């Protein structure tokens, strides 16, 4: 039997970093989780254990901390690009770098006091190749939204295993995970773009009379693409957080869509992408 080495990468996952910027008595914080993955001329380490081409994952972690001190941490996309380009440029054996960052928000409670934001997490994934191509995916996750009405579900396939009853009035709730791709990574207004895409996703969810979660997903992505010319593709993953009306008839009570059981699993998972017709191919950048 003949075998060969397939696609591979390695790196340091979840380097926790908090950067404090001190402006006199007023402090600013950046709280991020950084994961790096490198690939390239790595055959020898797999086949013979020769580590000559390997930049240790501990060194990758230390680079994150050193760059945070030397360059600061502004927009997470810019910091990820800085790291990815450094790894590829600094070592001839490294042909591709992937950097993923999650950012956790804090609300100010005083000049140097903060309360952790319980909302969504801002994210980004950056890829950089030795050929100089960079791909930037901005995003968010755990954006929990709900419509208490204005959602229907009916007209679906019915087979011998179907027990779900059609409805013209249901709760629609989900935790949105979204990523969007920038056409020009070095010219993208990451901060304002993030705020605008987030606004579009929320407004489209709230303003759509939904006949399916798939329809809502498409409308949300379409709204973001229409409002943000710097974005060429949006991908969404939206678990359907089911809410089932509770049968109160044993207690002599009616229930006209007022009391629900919120089920956490199993759940429907709706995923999809919407892109401009002329959007360039992103290849494996979504991985």
DSSP codes, 147-210: ESSSB-B-S----TT--PPPBSS--EEEEEEEEEEESSGGG--HHHHHHHHHHHHHHHHHH--B
Q: Round the CA-based radius of gyration of the chain to a whole number and report it.
A: 23
Q: pLDDT class for 236, splitting at 50, 70, 90?
A: very high
C-alpha of 270 from chain center: 15
Q: pLDDT tens digits, residue range 47-89?
A: 999 999 999 999 999 999 999 999 999 999 999 999 999 999 9
Mutual angle of helices 190-207 and 76-90, in 10-degree steps: 130
Record the pTM.
0.93
What structural domains does the chain harbor? 8-132 (3.10.270.10), 139-280 (3.10.270.10)
Burial of 193 (0-12, 13-18, 19+ CB in 10 A): buried
Instruction: With a cut of 80, say whether residue 283 has pLDDT above it.
Output: no
**Could you list the active site residues?**
12, 57, 242
Tokens of residue 184, six digits:
């020009």
Q: Any bridge partners for residue 197, and if so which?
A: none
Q: Which residue has the tokens 């926790």?
A: 16
Q: pLDDT tens digits, residue range 79-131?
A: 999 999 999 999 999 999 999 999 999 999 999 999 999 999 999 999 999 99
Residue 266: how many other CB atoms lie within 10 Å: 9
- Rounded CA gap, 190 and 139, in Å? 10
C-alpha pair distances (Å), 109 with each of 28, 59, 106, 229, 272: 12, 36, 9, 36, 39
- Rounded CA gap, 138 and 118, in Å? 20
């Amino acid at each position: 039997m003949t075998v060969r080495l397939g696609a591979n990468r390695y790196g340091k996952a979840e380097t926790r970093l908090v950067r404090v910027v001190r402006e006199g008595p007023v402090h600013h914080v950046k709280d991020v989780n950084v994961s790096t993955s490198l690939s390239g001329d790595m055959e020898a380490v797999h086949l013979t254990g020769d580590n000559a081409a390997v930049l240790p994952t501990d060194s990758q972690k230390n680079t994150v901390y050193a760059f945070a001190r030397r360059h600061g941490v502004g927009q997470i996309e810019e910091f990820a690009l800085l790291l990815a380009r450094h790894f590829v440029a600094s070592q001839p054996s490294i042909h591709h770098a992937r950097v993923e960052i999650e950012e956790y928000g804090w609300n100010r409670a005083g000049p140097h006091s903060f309360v952790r934001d319980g909302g969504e997490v801002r994210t980004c994934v950056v890829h950089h190749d030795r050929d100089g191509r960079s791909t930037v995916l901005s995003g968010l996750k755990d954006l929990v939204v709900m419509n208490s009405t204005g959602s229907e579900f009916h007209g679906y396939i019915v087979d011998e295993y179907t027990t779900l009853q059609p409805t013209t009035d249901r709760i629609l709730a989900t935790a949105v995970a979204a990523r969007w791709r920038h056409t020009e990574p070095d010219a993208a207004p990451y901060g304002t773009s993030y705020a605008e895409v987030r606004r579009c996703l929320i407004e489209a969810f709230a303003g759509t009379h939904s006949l399916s979660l798939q329809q809502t997903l498409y409308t949300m992505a379409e709204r973001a693409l229409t409002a943000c010319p710097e974005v060429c593709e949006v991908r969404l993953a939206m678990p359907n957080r089911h809410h089932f009306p509770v049968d109160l008839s044993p207690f002599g009570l009616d229930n006209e869509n007022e009391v629900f059981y919120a089920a956490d699993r199993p759940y429907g998972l709706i995923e999809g992408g919407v892109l401009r017709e002329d959007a360039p191919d992103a290849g494996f950048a979504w991985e």
